[in-house]
Structures are given as C-alpha cells and as structure tokens.
Chain A
C-alpha cells in the first residue's frame, strides 16, 4: 500500500521569499513521486517527477524537490515566490509494484502569496 502525507494544509509566504511545501510518503516498492499544481478552475498540471534517477529534481517555474529515502520525504521548494504561484499543490506517489501507475494523492497544500 502507498500513502502520502502533506504536512501543511496552508502555507503563506510573501512575494520574493522562499517556498517550502512538505511531503512524506509511504510505499511498499521503489516509488515514483510527483508534484502537481492546481490553479482555480484549471486542470492539474505536472510540476516535476522523481523516477529513481537523480535525487534532486528540477521542475517548471523554478520549482525543485529532493527525494530523501532515509527520511521518506519529497519536499517541494522554490527560492523566490511569485504571485502567480498561488495555487493548491499535491504531492503524489506511484507504486510501481502494480505494473502501472495508479496515483495516490495527498490532501493538498494551499499556497498563499501576499504582495
């Protein structure tokens, strides 16, 4: 079985300051991990994915995440927040043991960016 825990339901930052969205996972197999972003009334968009290559993964819009197996974490970071980053972010795990990639989502973290 696989699961994801997003440690914060809401994170508030000021524009230009760093962003940290925390995620811990549980998986029976070597997991693949993703971060998706959901803007209001828009579809889910893939930010980045980890698939057992480099542990530091760079995504779109300046986001990156580091896979830490010893901590079972996959936190999302960005050095400097922009107003357009305000959205809901989902950490997602895929358990490859099933042979295909059914995704298990966390409950989401709402990122609020103030001017």
Chain B
C-alpha cells in the first residue's frame, strides 16, 4: 500500500519568503507528526496531531512555524519569513494513533528545504 508522501521533495527559497510543505499520511492513520532533521543530527520533534487538532506543538521553534490538518488527513507545515537557519530536511510521520499501545511511526521521504 501507499506510504507517507511529502511534497515537494526539494524546496529552495530566499530568506524572508513564505513556504508550505505538504504531508499525505497513510490512509486510516489518525496520528501525524512533523520532525526536522538538520545536517548531521537526528530528527527533532516539531508538532503532533491527533485527528484535526494539534495535541502537542511544543517542538515548534518559534511563531514563524505553524501547521494545520483541517480534515484530519493531509497536513501542511507553514514557515513564514524564512531564515537561513531553517534549512533542513522536514520529515512527516504517521501512525494508527491507538493510545493503548506503542504506535509504530512510518516516515515519509522528507522535504529538503534550502533557504538562500
């Protein structure tokens, strides 16, 4: 079956511009996560959705970052006034969202964002 997909695979933008990154989770997965992976580092948690609501956004670095999931499926990560330090690979993961067990998270291939 189809896995998690992310678009675009690469995005190059200029400092100060606005970008949107899209994640399409596995069908039927209610939980969706965004992570950011900087060069030479492991992924770091940004935000978690259960259904349509952001259940935990404690990983968002500042108020330039925002994410939505209006219909409980596709999610969009939005970054305003991009800075060079935002350059990274942005990863999306989804899971079944069953609270009584440890969900396995399935990751997409990521979007590589480069801010010039």
Q: A-side interface residues toward B, CB under 8 Å?
A: 4, 32, 36, 41-46, 49, 51, 90, 92, 94, 96, 98-108
Count contacts on B: residues with CB < 8 A to the other chain.
30
Inter-subunit contact B48/A46 (CB<8 Å): no
Interface residues of B (CB under 8 A from A): 3-4, 31, 33, 35, 40-45, 48, 50, 55-56, 91, 93, 95, 97, 99, 101-110
**Chain B residues whose C-beta falls within 8 Å of the C-beta of A92 in the assembled complex:** 42
| A44 contacts across to B, CB distance below 8 A | 43, 91, 93, 107
Name the distance in Å between A102's Cβ and chain B's nearest Cβ: 5
Contact of A43 among B50, B102, B109 (CB under 8 A): B109
Distance from B32 Cβ to chain A, minimum over Cβ atoms (Å): 11
Q: Whole-angstrom distance between the alpha carbons of A106 and B103 in the complex?
A: 19
Bound complex: CA of A100 vs CA of B97, how far in Å? 8
CA distance in complex: A4, B101 (Å): 21
- Please give, as numbers and ranges, the residues of chain A lying within 8 Å of B33 by CB-CB distance: 102-103
Q: How far is the CB of A101 from chain B (nearest CB, A)?
A: 5
Q: List 24 A-B contacts (CB under 8 A).
A: A43-B3, A43-B91, A43-B109, A44-B43, A46-B104, A46-B105, A46-B106, A49-B104, A51-B101, A90-B42, A90-B43, A92-B42, A98-B56, A100-B97, A100-B99, A100-B103, A101-B95, A101-B105, A102-B56, A103-B35, A103-B105, A106-B42, A107-B40, A107-B42
